[in-house]
Amino acid sequence: MRVGIPRSLLYYKYLPFWKTFLTRLGLDVETSPMTNKQILSWGVKVAENELCVPVKAFYGHCMALRETSDAIFVPRVVSVEERAYTCPKFLGLPDMIAAVAEQLELPPLLTPKLNQREKPSEFKWQLINFAREQFGLSRLEAVAAIEEARVAQRRYQESLVRGHKPVDLLPASRLNRTRFRPPGEKRKRIGLLGHPYNIYDGYITQNLIARLEEMGAELVVPEMTDHHVLMDAATDVPKQLYWTYEKEIMGAINHWTGNRMIDGVVYVLAFACGPDSLIQVLIEHRAKTYNVPMMSLTIDEHSGEAGLVTRIEAFIDMLMRKKTAA
C-alpha cells in the first residue's frame, strides 16, 4: 500500500516522524512535489475563499497525490500538549478534505486523531489504536514503530538546533539555492518568524529565504532553538496563549530579543489567519520594547514577487543604516 503525505502544513515539522512511523508499519510512503503554480491553482479553485493560503495549498497537494497513492495521510492534530490546542484548521482538516474527496476523486484518507490536551500519554495510545484498527498490527509492532519514529524525529530536531533549517534537511524542500552572498562577514542577523508552513514553502513566499541570504542576512529561525526553551520563553506574556504553535512563535521572539540575538525580525503570516493576527500585536510590542526593527509580510495566493523584493530590500537597507549610525 502506497501512502501519500502532502508537502504542506505540518510536513515541515513532523515529516521524519510520520514517514518513519508509516514505513515501519509496512507502507510505502511518498510525498507530493514542491508547491508550484499548478498545485496552488488546484487548491484555490476547490477550497473556500476564507481559508488561508497554506490550507489552500494543502488541497492542491492532496490532488497531486491522487494518481500515485492508494491513500493520503491527513491526521487530525487536535492538541500536542496539555491544556492547549492547535489551530482550528488542523482540527477540521480531515473533514474539509473528506468533503471534496469524492468530487476530486481522491483515494481514501488516513486520519488518526491526535489529542494530548488531557494527558501526554494519549498520543502513544492513539497511534497504537490507529495501527491496530487500520492495519491489524499488534501492540508490540505499533510500539516499535512509534519508538523508531521518535528517534528519527529527535535526530531531525537535534540537527535543527545545531543551526540547520528544515529546507536544508528535508528532501527536495528548497525552491532555489542561494546563488550569491555578499563578500566578507555576514552583516545582518535576522530572525525569520512564522509557522514552518509559511516560511519554508518557497513558492508561497516567493523564495524568501534565498532572497534574504543573497542580501547578506544570517537567518535565525524558531526551529534552531530547543522546544522547551521556546515554551519557557513564551510564558513572558500576561496570559498563557491558547494555541501551541503560536506559543512557539512568541517564545522565539522573546528568546531572541531577551538575549540580543538578532538585528531585526521578519514575521511571515498568512492572510485570514486569526491566531497569527492576534499574536502579531504581541510580537510588534515585544520588538518595539527591545528596539528591534520588525517587518510583517502577509502572504496569500495573490502575493507578487516585485512587491516582496522591494519591501525586503528596503528593510535590509534600513538595518544597514541603523547599524552604521550605531
For residues 135 and 189, membership in a common domain is answered with: no
Note whether 46 and 146 are same-domain residues. Answer: yes
Same domain? 184 vs 315: yes
Structural domain ending residue among the three candidates 108, 140, 161? 161
121 & 81 share domain: yes
Per the CB < 8 A criterion, the answer to whether 120 and 82 are in contact is yes
Quote the pLDDT of residue 116: 81
Residue 61 lies in a domain: yes
For 23, phi then psi, to 5°, come to -65, -40
Which segments in the chain show pLDDT lower than 70?
175-187, 303-304, 306, 322-326
Of 112, 135, 161, the residue that ends a domain is 161
Q: Which residues contact 184 (CB under 8 A, 6 or more apart)?
A: none
Q: Domain containing 147: what range? A: 2-161
The CA-atom distances, in angstroms, between 218 and each of 102, 191, 196 are: 46, 8, 18
Q: Is residue 101 part of a domain?
A: yes
Among candidates 280, 262, 255, 258, which has minimal Cα distance to 198? Answer: 280
pLDDT computed for residue 8 by the predictor = 94
Residue at 169 is within a domain:
no
- Is residue 130 located within the same domain as residue 194? no
Please report whether residue 108 resides in a domain.
yes
Residue 222 sits in a domain whose CATH number is 3.40.50.11900
Asked if 193 and 235 touch (Cβ cutoff 8 Å), the reply is no
With respect to residue 73, please indicate whether it lies within any of the assigned structural domains: yes
Do 128 and 205 fall into the same domain?
A: no
Indicate whether 152 and 178 sit together in one domain: no
- Which pLDDT value is given to residue 306? 66
Residue 292 domain-assigned (yes or no): yes
Same domain, 44 and 189: no
* Residue 179, domain member (yes or no): yes
One domain, residues 155 and 191: no
**Residue 46: CATH number of its domain:** 3.40.50
- β-pair partners for 4: 30, 72
Residue 167 is assigned to a structural domain of this protein? no
**pLDDT above 70 coverage of the chain, percent:** 93
Are both 113 and 253 inside the same structural domain? no
DSSP assignment of 12-40 equals HHHHHHHHHHHHHTT-EEEEPPPP-HHHH
Domain final residue, candidates 161, 194, 226: 161
Dig out the grid coordinates for 161 from the structure. 538546533
Count of the separate structural domains present in the chain: 2
Q: Are residues 142 and 15 in the same domain?
A: yes
191 and 226 belong to one structural domain: yes
State the Cα angle at 80 between 287 and 209, rounded to 5°: 45
How far is residue 220 from each of residues 165, 189, 217, 239, 241, measured CA to CA in Å?
A: 9, 7, 9, 26, 23
